[in-house]
Amino acid sequence: MAIEKLLLKLSLRDELSAEEEAALRALPEIIKEVPADKTIIRAGEALNDSTLLLEGLMCRYKDLKNGSRQISELHVAGDFVDLHSFTLKRLDHNIMTLTCCRVATVPHARLKRITEEFPHLTRILWFSTNLDAAIHREWVLSLGRRTALARLAHFFCELHVRLGIVGLTDGLSFRLDLTQVDIAECLGLTSIHVNRTLKVLREQGLVELRGGIVEIRDLIGLRRVAEFTDDYLSLERRPR
């Protein structure tokens, strides 16, 4: 039951054979709980395992000397948080938990075996890191060109889809245990401006965020202000 959400995420994009599924299930070595706000991987460390997120929210982030922080990706259950460390060996960013999390560690040696014995599964895992890169690109667009309002709207649209894939939405609402500071660090804004912008979204009847619950009031409208389309999330099942 551990890696069900990873299977959901991958099998949405391509068919997994029984052997491939078994190979995936055999990946985790250790499963553990990590409390919120723990940096579990630091930039530059030599790594021998990748981390699979089973439950909770994590992020990748970088800091500047003046103390400002930028989150480069948010991870939800089912995300193979640092699968890219398998080929990179050292990460260029830190990884931390935002909420209490359940994670599995996957030795790189096991991933290497997969590349030697399961070419199709290898392509699927490769795909999954390319999907992370596609998300990065969409964030680049948000940070470079979208207004604060559109950026925040886009953020909620993306999470609505990504959480929906792994069964963590309830129609138009979902749990999102982030502080306004966390959100600001995703969006390249200050928490104060996030606060004001949330107010505008609320007043326009688009979304509300209260007590860690996001309720989308008008999905069409929200997607319109965000100029959100889900193409970049590769939501199609096709041979990879």
Binding site for DNA (CB under 7 A): 147-149, 179-181, 188-193, 195-196, 198-199
Query: Does 238 participate in binding a copy of itself (rule CB under 8 A)?
Result: yes
What is the rounded distance in angstroms from the CA atom of residue 83 to the CA atom of residue 9? 14
Query: Does 89 participate in binding a copy of itself (rule CB under 8 A)?
Result: yes
32/224 with CB nearer a copy of itself: 224
Choose from DNA, a copy of itself, none: what does 180 bind? Cβ within 5-8 Å by kind. Answer: DNA
Query: Does 43 participate in binding a copy of itself (rule CB under 8 A)?
Result: yes
CB of 193 to DNA, least distance (A): 3
Overall residue count recorded for the chain in this entry:
240
What is the rounded distance in angstroms from the CA atom of residue 97 to the CA atom of residue 209? 20
Is the distance from CB of 83 to CB of 6 less than 8 angstroms? no
All residues at 6 or more sequence positions from 176 whose CB lies less than 8 Å from its CB, including other chains: 57, 159, 209, 212, 213, 214
CB of 33 to a copy of itself, least distance (A): 27
Instruction: Please choose, from the candidates 89, 87, 90, the residue with its C-alpha nearest in 3D space to the C-alpha of residue 125.
Output: 87
Subset of 172-201 contacting a copy of itself (CB under 8 A): 187-188
164/188 with CB nearer DNA: 188
Q: Which residue has the tokens 């909770």?
A: 56
Choose from DNA, a copy of itself, none: what does 149 bind? Cβ within 5-8 Å by kind. Answer: DNA
CB of 41 to DNA, least distance (A): 21
Is the distance from CB of 78 to CB of 165 less than 8 angstroms? yes
**Residue 119 is encoded by which pair of tokens?**
């070419």
